Amino acid sequence: MTNAVRLVNFEIQFKIMKQDTFQAPDYYNIDDLLTEEHKLIREAARDWVKRDVSPIIEDAAQKAEFPKSIIRGLSDIGAFGPYIPEEYGGAGLDQISYGLIMQEIERGDSGVRSTASVQSSLVMFPIYAYGTEAQKKKYLPKLASGEFMGSFGLTEPNHGSNPGGMTTNFKDKGDHYVLNGAKMWISNAPFCDIAVVWAKNEEGRIHGLIVERGMEGFTTPETHNKWSLRASATGELIFDDVKVPKENLLTGKSGLGAPLSCLDSARYGIAWGAIGAAMDCYDTALRYAKERIQFDKPIAAYQLQQKKLAEMITEITKAQLMALRLGQLKNEGKATTAQISMAKRNNVEMAINIAREARQILGGMGITGDYSIMRHMMNLESVITYEGTHDIHLLITGMDITGIPAFK
Give the catalytic positions in this structure.
387
CB 324 within 8 A of CB 275: no
Q: Which of 95, 46, 108 is nearest to 330 (CA)?
A: 95
d(CA 266, CA 74): 16
Strand pairing category for 206-212 and 150-153: unpaired
d(CA 212, CA 75): 21
Q: 318 vs 23, 101, 324, CA distance in Å?
A: 18, 19, 10
Question: Phi, psi at residue 90, to the nearest 5°?
Answer: -80, 180
d(CA 292, CA 275): 25
Identify the burial level of 122 via C-beta atoms within 10 angstroms of its C-beta, where 0-12 means exposed, 13-18 middle and 19 or more buried.
buried
CB hemisphere CA count around 107 (13 angstroms): 31
| b/e 157-172 (16+ beta carbons within 10 angstroms → b) | eebbeebeebebbbee
Q: Which of 231, 228, 227 is nearest to 188 (CA)?
A: 231
CB 126 within 8 A of CB 208: yes
d(CA 76, CA 18): 25
d(CA 405, CA 362): 43
Strand pairing category for 297-298 and 293-294: antiparallel
CB 373 within 8 A of CB 289: no
d(CA 317, CA 312): 9
